[in-house]
Structure 1
Amino acid sequence: MKEILDAILASDSSDNSDRSAADFAALPLPESYRAITVHKDEAEMFTGLDSRDKDPRKSLHLDDVPVPELGPGEALVAVMASSVNYNSVWTSIFEPVSTFSFLERYGRLSPLTKRHDLPYHVIGSDLAGVVLRTGPGVNAWRPGDKVVAHCLSVELESSDGHNDTMLDPEQRIWGFETNFGGLAEIALVKSNQLMPKPAHLSWEEAAAPGLVNSTAYRQLVSRNGAGMKQGDNVLIWGASGGLGSYATQFALAGGANPICVVSSDKKADICRAMGAEAIIDRNAEDYKFWKDEHTQDPREWKRLGKRIRELTGGEDVDIVFEHPGRETFGASVYVTRKGGTIVTCASTSGYTHEYDNRYLWMSLKKIVGSHFANYREAWEANRLVAKGKIHPTLSKTYTLEETGQAAFDVHRNLHQGKVGVLALAPGEGLGVTDHEMREKHLPAINRFRNI
Structure 2
Amino acid sequence: MSVTEAVLAGASPEDLERAALPDEFTAAHLRVEDQDVFRGVADKDVRKTLRVGPVPMPEPAPDEVLIAVMASSINYNTVWSATFEPLSTFRFLNSVGRQGGWAARHDQPFHVLGSDAAGVVVRTGSAVRHWKTGDHVLVNAAVVDEQEAITQSDGMLGEHQLAWGYETNYGGIAHYCLARASQLIPKPAHLTWEEAASVPACAGTSYRMLVSDRGARMKQGDVVLIWGATGGTGAYAVQFVKNGGGIPVGVVGSPRKAAALRALGCDVVIDRTELGLGAHDGDDDVANAVADGKKLGRAIREATGEDPHIAFDHVGQETFGMSVFAVRRGGTVITCGSSTGYRHRYDNRYLWMKLKRIIGSHVANLHEQWECARLFSQGSIMPALADLYPLAEVGEATRLVQLNQHIGKVGVLCLAPEPGLGVTDPALRERIGADRITPLRPFATGGPGALEVTA
Specify the alignment match of 1:276 in structure 2. 266
1:229 aligns with 2:228: no
Distance 2:281 2:211 in 1: 34
The range that moved more, 149-158 or 101-110, is: 149-158
After TM superposition, give the deviation of residue 299 of structure 1 in Å.
2.3
Change (3 A) 1:293 1:32: farther
CA RMSD of aligned residues (A): 1.4
After TM superposition, give the deviation of residue 443 of structure 1 in Å.
2.4
After TM superposition, give the deviation of residue 100 of structure 1 in Å.
0.6
The range that moved more, 57-66 or 157-166, is: 157-166
Q: Deviations over 1:411-430 (max 9, x none)?
A: 00111100111111111011
After TM superposition, give the deviation of residue 293 of structure 1 in Å.
4.5
Question: Structure 1 length normalisation: TM-score?
Answer: 0.95
1:113 aligns with 2:92: no
Distance 1:222 1:291 in 2: 41
2:127 to 130, 137, 141: 137
After TM superposition, give the deviation of residue 283 of structure 1 in Å.
1.2
1:199 aligns with 2:198: no
Specify the alignment match of 1:305 in structure 2. 297
1:256 aligns with 2:219: no
Counterpart of 2:331 in 1: which secondary structure? strand
Q: Could you tell me which amino acid in structure 1 is paired with residue 304 of structure 2?
A: T
Counterpart of 1:414 in 2: which secondary structure? coil
Contact 1:289 1:301 in 2 (8 A): no
Contact 1:289 1:327 in 2 (8 A): no
After TM superposition, give the deviation of residue 389 of structure 1 in Å.
1.1
Q: Could you tell me which amino acid in structure 2 is paired with residue 277 of structure 1?
A: D
Specify the alignment match of 2:6 in structure 1. 7
Distance 1:137 1:413 in 2: 42
Distance 1:119 1:9 in 2: 30
Distance 2:354 2:279 in 1: 21
After TM superposition, give the deviation of residue 404 of structure 1 in Å.
0.5
Q: Could you tell me which amino acid in structure 1 is paired with residue 119 of structure 2?
A: G
1:426 to 417, 423, 426: 417
Specify the alignment match of 1:165 in structure 2. 155
Counterpart of 1:450 in 2: which secondary structure? helix
Counterpart of 1:355 in 2: which secondary structure? coil
Contact 1:262 1:280 in 2 (8 A): yes
Contact 1:216 1:247 in 2 (8 A): yes
Contact 1:289 1:331 in 2 (8 A): no
Distance 1:291 1:357 in 2: 23
Q: Could you tell me which amino acid in structure 2 is paired with residue 30 of structure 1?
A: P
Distance 1:61 1:385 in 2: 33
After TM superposition, give the deviation of residue 30 of structure 1 in Å.
0.7
Unaligned runs of at least 5 residues, structure 1: none
Contact 1:324 1:349 in 2 (8 A): yes
Change (3 A) 1:231 1:263: same
Specify the alignment match of 2:400 in structure 1. 409
Distance 1:435 1:98 in 2: 43
1:444 aligns with 2:436: yes
Contact 2:2 2:21 in 1 (8 A): no
Q: Could you tell me which amino acid in structure 1 is paired with residue 343 of structure 2?
A: T
Distance 2:7 2:59 in 1: 22
After TM superposition, give the deviation of residue 294 of structure 1 in Å.
4.2
Distance 1:165 1:289 in 2: 42
Counterpart of 2:441 in 1: which secondary structure? coil
Distance 1:289 1:405 in 2: 31
Counterpart of 1:339 in 2: which secondary structure? coil
Counterpart of 1:205 in 2: which secondary structure? helix
Counterpart of 1:364 in 2: which secondary structure? coil
Distance 1:141 1:352 in 2: 42
2:87 to 67, 74, 97: 97
After TM superposition, give the deviation of residue 292 of structure 1 in Å.
4.5
Contact 1:289 1:328 in 2 (8 A): no
Specify the alignment match of 1:60 in structure 2. 50
The range that moved more, 90-99 or 378-387, is: 378-387
Distance 1:45 1:294 in 2: 34
Counterpart of 2:101 in 1: which secondary structure? coil
After TM superposition, give the deviation of residue 144 of structure 1 in Å.
0.5
Q: Could you tell me which amino acid in structure 1 is paired with residue 69 of structure 2?
A: V
Contact 2:264 2:440 in 1 (8 A): no
Contact 1:78 1:424 in 2 (8 A): yes
Specify the alignment match of 2:448 in structure 1. none
2:18 to 26, 29, 44: 26
Question: Structure 2 length normalisation: TM-score?
Answer: 0.94
Specify the alignment match of 2:117 in structure 1. 127
Specify the alignment match of 2:356 in structure 1. 365
Contact 2:113 2:172 in 1 (8 A): yes
2:35 to 29, 40, 43: 43
Distance 1:385 1:27 in 2: 33
Contact 2:70 2:119 in 1 (8 A): yes
1:395 aligns with 2:394: no
Contact 1:234 1:317 in 2 (8 A): yes
Q: Could you tell me which amino acid in structure 1 is paired with residue 301 of structure 2?
A: R
Q: Deviations over 1:178-203 (max 9, x none)?
A: 00000100100001111111111111
After TM superposition, give the deviation of residue 289 of structure 1 in Å.
6.7
